Amino acid sequence: MIVNTLDSYECAIESLDGPILVQFGSPSCVKCGPFSKCISDLSNSYQFGHIYISTPDAPELVEEFEVARLPAFALLQNGNDEEKHVVQSANAETLTAAISGGCQRKLPKLELDADF
């Protein structure tokens, strides 16, 4: 879900359950593309909501979260952003550690084949 205003952010938080990954990125950031790919990969294994904030389009949210270096993210538990901790200059390792420590693994899908 992409948001760019404080109002749309608050609506997004209310609409999602469980842990929510708030990602800050920019189309001009060379590290943000691979970081987004890592989020996509992790979403196949873990349960979390995802909000993307494009920093050039959302100065109000950048200021609210005090984002200074990209890529950045915050992992909110049950939509609680009272004590938001933003990880800045994030990489795949810090993201994976946060997701694996704060989110439940998805159960593997049971697929029945023709021989079953």
Where are the chain's structural domains?
A: 2-102
Handedness of CA 10, 15, 20, 26 (dihedral sign): negative
User: Are 95 and 46 within 8 A, CB to CB?
Assistant: no
Average pLDDT over residues 95-104: 91
In whole angstroms, what is the distance from residue 20 CA to residue 77 CA?
Answer: 6
Which residues, 6+ apart, have CB-to-CB distance to 76 below 8 Å?
Answer: 13, 19, 20, 21, 22, 84
Q: For the whole model, what pTM was predicted?
A: 0.85
Amino acid 77: pLDDT: 86
For 2-102, CATH number out of 3.30.70.2700, 3.40.30.10, 3.40.50.2300, 3.40.50.300 equals 3.40.30.10
Distance of CA 34 to the CA centre of its chain: 14
Residue 116: is its pLDDT beyond 60? no
User: Are 54 and 27 within 8 A, CB to CB?
Assistant: yes
Amino acid 110: pLDDT: 63
